Amino acid sequence: MADQRGTLEQGAGAGATRETAIELFTGLIDSADVLTDAVCAQIVAGEQAYGTRSLLPYEVLHGIVGENIAALARALLDGTATLEAPRRAGQVKAEHGIPMASLLHAYRLAGLQIWEVLVNRSVASQRFEALLLVSGEVWGMIDTFSNAAAEAYRSVVDAQDRRNQQARSLLLLSVLDGSATVVEAGRALRALGLPEHASFLLVAAELSATGEDSLPGISQTLRAAGIASAWTTLQGDQVGLLGTSAAGGMALVRATLASAATTRVGISRSFTVVGGAPDALRQARMAVGCVTPGGIGAHSYGTAPLDLLLVAQPGYAAELQDVVLGGLLTAPDAHVLLQTLEEWFAADGSTALTGRRLHCHRNTVLYRLARITELTGRMPSRPADAAELHAALRATRLTAR
């Protein structure tokens, strides 16, 4: 019985609390105009975002403040909230460029004004305890409204960012494909934040299979170094146009790209006329192919002419492998023989150094070189044969077969 009586008392207490809340909240709607004027006056006086040059007209501000105060009053009276008003406030203020902090501050001001009215009503009716009982409901409802407004604000900003990025991508593409006239290209560079008179580079970064950024944080890193850049995604690559007027800027760019790369990255030769962008893009994409498939690193166009030739003529590269390496490619120890040949070239033909690199005796190296001669008919120590073997070896490294 005692438990049942306690439950009944709690239910009666809850009902009494709600009745008291209704008494306190009754009249807020009638005070909405006065509250709206007071809140708008505080907003305009205390927020620079609403100064004389504000992009948000006072009539619009007054309208959305009044709409939200009326909605708050109804929500407190009914105990349930409809969030169209705060969502509209977030949308309108985002569209007019009012900072998020100013949006949220307006709700705090509205909350304080409503709280002041409730305090005055509780003093007049001597219901201080009742005010304490509903305080959590009041501030909880204000938080609900401000959170809804913030969510709507972020949705608008995200949509604006997407549209801006799409517009930037279209401008950049007009430069990359050469469709822009000289005048249009100059305008595009200015809109993209790139210098019109500078040394430029085109960068192509292979997109990661996992969807991760190929060059994490590259725009911010380059900007911190005083290098402007604009990026887009094009035919499976992350493509960037970079420009700098600083002496030594190109070397800094290449070093920065190399350290940031998480996939294969190709870098064009530098150029000073923006009309050279289409050819530079071709160079950057060819430079990507000069990094071993599946590897990570940045390669600058023209720094490895043999590799570039093989990448440019994949059919001939494949034929070169078959003709020069022949049966070696199908031998059981092909991987070991190719690795030995690669290290031997890297060691400038020193069998002792090759052995140290491969952690084997130099006689083992000599045996493997002899086996390469047996399988290919070409002697690595003979210059003409070495040239063919080296070219065929590079072809195997740069093509996935």
pLDDT at residue 141 tops 70: yes
Residue 294: CATH number of its domain: 3.30.70
Q: Are residues 329 and 385 in the same domain?
A: yes
Assess whether pLDDT exceeds 60 at residue 395.
yes
Q: Does 9 share its domain with 146?
A: yes
Burial class (CB in 10 A: 0-12, 13-18, 19+), 11: exposed
Residue bearing tokens 């460029």: 97
Give me the residue label for tokens 């070093």: 255
Q: Over 60: is that where the pLDDT of 3 sits?
A: no
Q: Which domain range does residue 119 map to?
A: 4-159
Domain end marker among 159, 177, 196: 159
User: If pLDDT is split at 50, 70 and 90, which confidence band does 11 have?
Assistant: very low
Are 220 and 260 members of one domain?
yes
Q: How confident is the model over 204-231, as pLDDT tens digits?
A: 999 988 878 899 999 999 988 888 999 9
Residue-wise pLDDT tens digits, 70-129: 999 999 888 788 899 999 999 999 999 899 999 999 999 999 998 888 888 878 767 677
Instruction: Tell me the HSE value of 31 on the side-chain side, using a 13 A CA sphere.
Output: 19
Report if residue 171 sits inside a domain.
no
The answer to whether 265 touches 257, Cβ cutoff 8 Å, is yes
Residue 4 predicted with pLDDT over 70 = no
Token pair of 373, please?
């001669």
- Establish if 167 belongs to a structural domain: no
| pLDDT for 229 | 92
16 and 111 co-located in one domain: yes
Position 26 pLDDT exceeds 90: no
What confidence category does residue 196 fall into, taking pLDDT thresholds of 50, 70 and 90? confident
Does 254 share its domain with 118? Answer: no
What is the tally of structural domains in the chain?
3
From 47-51, 240-244, 383-387, the region with the lowest mean pLDDT: 47-51
From residue 270, how far is each of 22, 203, 210, 267, 300 by CA, in Å?
Answer: 73, 10, 31, 9, 10
| Residue finishing a domain among 303, 324, 345 | 303
Same domain, residue pair 152 and 17: yes
Supply the pLDDT for residue 51. 58
- Using the predicted structure, report yes or no on whether residue 258 has a pLDDT greater than 70: yes
pLDDT > 50? residue 375: yes
User: Are residues 370 and 296 both part of a single domain?
Assistant: no
Looking at the predicted structure, is the pLDDT value of residue 36 above 90? Answer: yes
Give the phi and the psi of residue 382 in degrees, each rounded to 5.
Answer: -90, 125
Segment 324-352 mean pLDDT: 93
Question: What's the pTM?
Answer: 0.66
CA 97 vs. chain centroid, Å, equals 22
CATH of the domain at 104: 1.10.490
Cα–Cα distance measured from residue 344 to residue 330, given in angstroms and rounded to the nearest whole number: 21
Both 14 and 122 in a single domain? yes
pLDDT recorded at residue 23 = 72
Q: Is the pLDDT assigned to residue 365 strictly greater than 70? A: yes
Whether 277 is covered by a domain: the verdict is yes
Residue 155 sits in the same domain as residue 278: no
What percentage of the chain exceeds 70 in pLDDT? 91
Query: Is residue 16 over pLDDT 90?
Result: no
pLDDT at 2: 39
Is 164 a member of any domain? Answer: no
